[in-house]
Structure 1
Amino acid sequence: MSPISSISRRHRPAFVVSSLAAGLLLGAASSASAATFNGSGAITTDYVWRGTTQTQGDPAVQAGFKVAADNGLYGAVWGSNVEFAPDTKASSELDVTVGWSGNVAEDWALDVNLTHYRYPSTTADLDWTEAIGTLTWKENYWAQLGYSNDALATDEAGTYAQLGAKFPVGEQLRLEAAAGYYWLDDAYDASYAHAQLGMVWAFKAPFEIRVTAHATDRSARTLFPGLAGSRVEAALQTSF
């Protein structure tokens, strides 16, 4: 059998995304003059994703790395600690992304990618892959759409949409706001909405302090009891 045919259909997206990311990383590394490298890091009081905590409200340490070719293709990896139900034994998350980003018109930029969410420490089958597109206007306003036929590793389809904006307040401060809706009717016979409002203080480049308030609707609290609802997180973050 070929390497791909020997892998189960469920895990082929992980194999493909990881292989593409590795190819982009190696290709860019062999031609450094035609590539850009950057990274990010954060220490946060809570890891909140689409309105729900991924660490049971506990702190998280996060880091990421991205390499982009001059034609817009890029590969990225990002990781964080997580804390799910005890029986899953999940303690870490590793996201592998391959995509393309670039300007499509004056003031407009597009990012399209495949992101694979992987939980290497778990004994459960929690890994899944999502296609995500983000359209940005003037670098401060965005609309995002994500789709997966295996949303949250349920083997069912899910679609996520988000609208967001950044509002500069002076040279060091900015406000960030976003609202999202997650259609999960196929997986859970329910969907939910969430919103967030944050303030970022760029007190000393490249370091920033971010404080974000999150809120979800009642449906989210029913779907994810104890994980959704209202919460505030604070983070020290940097990029390089």
Structure 2
Amino acid sequence: MSSSSFLLRGPMPARRAVSTVATGLLLATACTAHAATFNGSGALTTDYVWRGTTQTQGDPAVQAGFRATAENGVYGSIWGSNVEFAPETQASSELDATVGWSGALSDDWALDVNLTHYRYPSATVDLNWTEAIGTLTWKQNYWAQLGYSTEALATDEAGAYAQLGAKIPLGEQVRLEAAAGYYWLDDAYDDSYAHAQLGAVWVFKAPFELRVTAHATDSSAKTLFPGLAGSRVEAALQAAF
């Protein structure tokens, strides 16, 4: 989440209610996952870039996540990273709790729908917010994603996000990944912005991968998030298990 969002904060009771619902759903998922499968991921990255903007002021990040999936496709996950926002927020960590469902619609199509709660435990201001996200995937390599929140970037205003992306295999060990997104933030910030990214992934020794990604945003993003948007390159060592 962009560090600029701490300037506009939504009503505490409303966001606490959403947070409670998200927590309840996560617990319900855990309780019903009698025959669940478990997996996780970890990454060391030179920069934490989210929707085109850095979340660590361009500094490195350590990230890890865990997910439990039931036989019926219902899942719950937790993911965390260090962050570096404006000093007055004192935000140093991010924890994302997600509950959702994913499954195949046909041989070629798959769907993932979830509710993700972004939480910043160390922040001295209320930066927490929740977003509903849906992702439609074709042949496991092409996707379209939509996100919507009534408290976008921890404000009390709505925001919507759309992304199109593709994975392009270049062999058994190398693939390209490209995505373009647009974030509608007119209600919260009187502006919206676009971003794009292009990366190369090398699976040099499974499950370890090396990823290098170039990011770019439009001028609106630079105006909305000075010093955080623009062009940047990140490199990451990541693994899934």
Q: Same fold judged by TM-score > 0.5?
A: yes
Deviations 1:16-74 (A, max 9, x none): 1112112212332xx2xx21100000000000000000000000000000000010100
Deviation (angstroms), 1:14: 1.0
Amino acid at match of 1:77: I
List alignment gaps of at least 5 residues for structure 2.
Answer: 1-11
For 1:146, the equivalent position in structure 2 comes to 147
Aligned to 2:21: 16
**Superposition misfits of 4+ residues, deviation over 3 angstroms:** none
1:26 corresponds to which residue?
Answer: 31
Q: Distance in 1 between matches of 2:163 and 2:152?
A: 16
Name the CA distance, whole Å, in 2 between partners of 1:41 and 1:73: 22
Q: Write the mapping of 1:15-94 to structure 2, written as runs, cut at 5 A.
A: 15-28=20-33, 31=34, 34-94=35-95
Identity %: 77
- Aligned twin of 2:110: 109
What is aligned with 1:172? Answer: 173
The 1-side partners of 2:180 and 2:218 are apart by 11
SS, match of residue 105 in structure 1 = coil
Q: Retained in 1: the 8 A contact 2:180–2:194? A: yes
Could you tell me which residue of structure 2 aligns to residue 132 of structure 1?
A: 133
8 A contact 2:22–2:99 mirrored in 1: yes
Q: 2:200 maps to what in 1?
A: 199
What CA distance in whole angstroms lies between the structure 2 residues aligned with 1:36 and 1:12? 30
Scaled by the length of structure 1, the TM-score of the pair is 0.94
Unaligned stretches of 5+ residues in structure 1: 1-6
User: Matched residues in 1 for 2:45 and 2:147: separation?
Assistant: 25
SS at match of 1:42: strand
What SS does structure 2 have at the residue aligned with 1:9? helix
Count of matched residue pairs: 230
Aligned to 1:189: 190
Return the alpha-carbon distance in structure 1 between the equivalents of residues 137 and 111 of structure 2: 6
Contact 2:15 2:128 in 1 (8 A): no
| Aligned-partner Cα distance in 2 for 1:221–1:121 | 27
With normalisation by structure 2, the TM-score equals: 0.94
